[in-house]
Amino acid sequence: GAGVSQTPSNKVTEKGKYVELRCDPISGHTALYWYRQSLGQGPEFLIYFQGTGAADDSGLPNDRFFAVRPEGSVSTLKIQRTERGDSAVYLCASSSSGGPADTQYFGPGTRLTVL
């Protein structure tokens, strides 16, 4: 079956621009997560959705970052006024219910480069 997909796979932008990163979770998965992975580091939690609502956005670094999931499926991570420090791989993951032992399935990531 289809796994988690993310588009674009690569995004190069200039400092100060706005970007949108898209995540298509596994069909039927109600839980969706966004992570940021910098070079040489493990993924860092950004935000968690259960259905349409952001159940935990405590990992968003500042108010330039925002994410939506309007219909409880596809999610978009939005970054305003991008900075060079935002350059990283942005990973999306989904799981069936967000339960305690729920396994997260990750997408291939979007590599964001801010020049």
Binding test (CB under 8 A) with another protein, winner from 45, 66, 74, 76: 45
CA distances, 98 to each of 18, 49, 55, 70 (Å): 30, 9, 11, 18
CA distances, 76 to each of 7, 12, 31, 53, 110 (Å): 10, 17, 14, 13, 12
Residues 49-78 that bind another protein (CB under 8 A): 55-56, 58-59
- What is the closest distance, in whole angstroms, from the C-beta atom of residue 31 to another protein in the complex? 8
Instruction: Answer yes or no whether residue 101 interacts with another protein by CB under 8 A.
Output: yes
Residue 35 DSSP SS3: strand
Q: Cα–Cα distance between 23 and 92 in angstroms, integer?
A: 6
- What is the closest distance, in whole angstroms, from the C-beta atom of residue 45 to another protein in the complex? 5
Pick the closer one to another protein by CB: 9 or 80: 9
Instruction: Answer yes or no whether residue 10 interacts with another protein by CB under 8 A.
Output: no
Binding test (CB under 8 A) with another protein, winner from 73, 98, 112, 114: 98
Q: Cα–Cα distance between 31 and 56 in angstroms, integer?
A: 11
Measured over the CA atoms of residue 33, residue 36, residue 41 and residue 45, the dihedral's sign is negative
- What is the closest distance, in whole angstroms, from the C-beta atom of residue 62 to another protein in the complex? 18
Contact residues: another protein, CB under 8 A: 33, 35, 40-45, 48, 55-56, 58-59, 89, 91, 93, 98-101, 103-109
